[in-house]
Amino acid sequence: MNNSDGKRGWAAFNRRLNSPPGFRILIVIFVVAAIVFSGVRLLHYFRGRSIMDYKLWYETGKRVLAGQEIFFLHFGKYDFMYPPPCAIFLGGASLLGQAGLILLFVAINSAAWFASVQLAVVLAAGESRAKSAWLYLMPSLLVIVYIWSSYHLGQSSLVLLALMLGAFVLLRTKRQISAGALIALAAAIKAFPAMVIIYLIYRRYWKATVSLVVALVFLLLVFPAPFRGWERTWHDLKQWSVGMLKYTPVGVAQRPMRSYTWKNQSLVGVSNRLLRHVDADAASSPHEPIYVNVADLKFATVNAIIITVALALGILFIAAMPRRAMRTAESDALEFSLLVLMVLMVTPLSFGYLLRS
């Protein structure tokens, strides 16, 4: 087959893919993939095999319903490390039983995956229905392994992505209050999306900023109170803060063994791994220590370098941002993409299942 035949064949394939039947086939593929990913998790449960973090979510939910401690040391670290409102959500889900909780979570994961694809297309193409099917297909293909890991591990990354993309779409349509509330909800599930408040302030999204703060205060203090009581709610928040907002030469938060290993690809993890004499595979057991550092600097010096690099990245980000009068739908899409990447880089713990964002 010569080059012209190949071009004609590719053009014909593109026409079929971008036709209404082609879009319907993509939807069928998505549904099949979501059912398979979900079914494997349920099958593992019914066969008595490991269900990864789903077990922790169920046990945490049961502890909430029983009025027991959520954040406590177990083998030197917290088992459950998410903000207190997330535990309240799990309390409701655990009422369904363990199988019901897994079914609910994989269904939410599938809905978040679908929503993320749709919202990403809206941001990239400026409309809800893009003409090119590749905009729907390629992002998922590129990170399909990480999407599977979200189902496999029982992680919330797809949900966080859908919430953040939804917030960005709302910002672009000038619905700032709803956007701030979505970011607050994401931060109540896993804390690091709260860093977006810096961007909101810089871009003068004042309504979104106030909405984020008010909604987050509500989710952290008011929302749990009917279930845990005011005193226990404050105690939960204090215990979580003391245990999770911690950064020492030994580790970050409640991940002392994994903080500086190859599993953590954040700026904090990479800098400590390359610039200090720390075991790059400490989470594996048993194993021989592995060191990949190119220098052996003091902890304070490494932190100074981290802050400098973070500030430099922030300045480059700001320099690349167009002025308000020059903003377009396309520049906003690029800006929001860079913002997500910045948040993932700067957050102290950034494991593989977060990288799909």
Domain boundaries, the chain: 1-245, 247-357
- The pLDDT assigned to 75 comes to 78
| Average pLDDT taken over every residue of the chain | 90
**Residue whose tokens read 């797809």:** 158
Is the pTM higher than 0.75?
yes
d(CA 161, CA 182): 11
DSSP class per residue in 101-157? HHHHHHHHHHHHHHHHHHHHHHHHHSSSS-S-THHHHHHHHHTHHHHHHHHHHT--H
Query: How many C-beta atoms surround the C-beta of residue 208 within 10 A?
Result: 28
For residue 10, which amino acid is it? W
- The pLDDT assigned to 2 comes to 56
What are residue 73's DSSP bridge partners? 78
- The pLDDT assigned to 174 comes to 92
Rounded to the nearest 5 degrees, what angle is found at the Cα of 255, between the Cα atoms of 113 and 308? 85
262 three-state secondary structure: coil
Low-confidence ranges of the chain (pLDDT < 50): 356-357
Rg value, the chain, Cα = 22
Phi, psi of 246 (to 5 degrees): -135, 135
- The pLDDT assigned to 3 comes to 63
Report the Cα 282 to chain-centroid distance in Å.
24
Tell me the per-residue pLDDT of 154-185, one tens digit each, with 9 for 90 and over.
999 999 999 999 999 999 999 999 999 999 99
- The pLDDT assigned to 21 comes to 83
- The pLDDT assigned to 128 comes to 66
